[in-house]
Chains A and B, each alone.
Chain A
Amino acid sequence: MSAVSSGSATLADVIRTHRRRIGLLAILGVALVLPFIPPFTGEDYRRWLIVAAFMAAQAVAFDFTAGYINIVNFGFAAFVGLGAYTSGILAVDFGISPWIGMVVGASLAGLVGLVTGALTLRLRGIYAAVMAWFVGLALMGLVRNVPEVTRGSLGLSVPLLLDTSENLPYYYLILAMLVVTFVVLAWVIRSRYGLAFRAIGQNLASAKASGINPTRYLVINFVLSCAFAGWLGGFYAHFYGILTPDIMLTSHTVEVLAIAYIGGRGSLWGAAVVAFPLSIGVEWVKVQFSTLPGVHLVLYGVLLILVMIYRPGGVAGLARSLDEWWKRRRLPDRPSEATADTGG
């Protein structure tokens, strides 16, 4: 379908065809200079930015599953925790570099994802979600109950990733990890695998009737998402320097889910973009209402409900409608490109 129009493309045409990419690069540009814009010049506020980018990357990995194959991984936080503990324990007990530990943690999370997925993804939707949740709870129970290795709820002290206590390098590191997560997963979505994911997520019967082996693609998707969760968990471990089993709590999964859904299911970029204002806002609320622990979860809940009722497509869905409205508005002065394509 290479129906590129003849002759010289104006700058406006280039912008129009690449508007998605340009928009994302502009947002990345803002994220790059954000730590130099007050109030984010302060160390405390820069810490908020790190949390935001960490949430964004997790939400992208979560949306890769929830938004495309339509399976909600309620055990997501446990896979993040699995990666974190793997990397942490390797560093503490075996002196292995956190950089290697993070990759090992990602692999182990992917492997547990493979077993979980192979067992649960034959089941439909809600059953797979519940099974993934149980696996998550079991992992958290395991971490709690082997204090010889994990020090349980006392917390495991873990070496830091960088040789500094400043926040700025960590911010750029997690921003880079966010970009890698996004670029890799977006690339998979554009491949034939992504086509299979979307087909399965939108209509299982037709996907099968079109020759797709659903279990195979569901498992591939699930493993990738879990592996990225584990990798990001490694960052968490070696940024905070202390690990407790609470990292695996379902409430963390729900925070990631809320961001992914508010950003817009099945878009990847929506989750990444809304994570910044949302988690910065939530950090602010946590500080203001420090006497009310858990108030941020209520906030996420209310926002999620409002989005589900009024804008089920989330921010990405809103952007898509605006884009379509804009195209329709321009239609009269341009012949329909799509109809012309059919002839070729």
Chain B
Amino acid sequence: MALLELSGVTRRFGGLTAVNDVTFNVEAGEIFGLIGPNGAGKTTLLSCLAGDLRPNAGSVRFDGRDTTGLPADRMCRLGLGRTFQIPRPFPNLSAFENVLVAATFGDPKLHGEAVARRALEMLEYVKFPRPIDTIASHLNAAQLKRLDLARALASHPKLLLLDELAAGLTPGELTSMATLLRRIRSDGVTILMVEHVMGLILELCDRLSVLQYGELIAHGDAATVARDERVREAYLGHDYVL
């Protein structure tokens, strides 16, 4: 049984269908990539999985139960962690407190001193480069990405949704992020990542899905999908438009 099963997920905004009848599974233990041009509906789809948006049709099963339309805080406590495309820290809390929030409320099994210990461990795990009492609003973009990742991991997720984690990172930061993601996977966390940096996708992902205009146009193992003609067209804009 797959960890995450999407079946016919559809989300409309007024007359616009942002996500249309998307079906795929994410197996436990894999790194699954979701790619597609800008505006293809990737973030909308993630929001439907994470509980920020309710799908208009279709169903989402996570970890053996129907989670369609459950709110984001329930999804977090059920074991779904997520990072945001643009990191959204708690600006006036310290880095430590930012992660502490998720350790306190995201993992129902954690109590007492273990909560603070988890928060410290996670900051260390992502190699957070600043003193932990630094106020979040004083951090730069790359540091915020790591903080957001530590926060998402602090609730001890089974599945991690990453929305363009690599965007805006330097090549050096990219390499160390790839190492970190591989380590997260080998520690037993399944990853579903939305990404534009193809190098990272091809390096990390076992399988890929490609979204265009809200629909799944290709699906399969990473190397095959990357060679797919339709995918190349979607990306290179080589469409035969009338």
Contacts and interface: CB of A to CB of B under 8 A. Distances in A.
Interface stretch (B93-101, B176-184, B219-227, B233-241): B93-101
A39 to B, nearest CB: 40
Contacts of B97: 195, 198
A338 B133 contact: yes
A192 B104 contact: yes
Interface string B61-73: 0000000000111
Contacts, number: 98
Q: Which of A195, A211, A266, A336 has the most CB of B within 10 A?
A: A211
Interface residues of B, number: 40
B26 interface: no
B131 A211 contact: no
A266 B155 contact: no
Interface stretch (B11-19, B31-39, B116-124, B209-217): B116-124
Interface class of chain A by DSSP: helix
Interface in A191-242: 192, 195-196, 198-199, 202-203, 205-214
B88 interface: yes
B92 A339 contact: no
A13 interface: no
Interface of A: 1, 192, 195-196, 198-199, 202-203, 205-214, 266, 336, 338-339, 341-342, 344
B24 interface: no
A225 B135 CA distance: 27
A290 B102 CA distance: 55
Contacts of A207: 73, 90, 101
A199 B90 contact: yes
A328 B73 CA distance: 38
Contacts of B154: 210
Contact of A202 (B92, B104, B105, B155): B92
A211 B92 contact: no
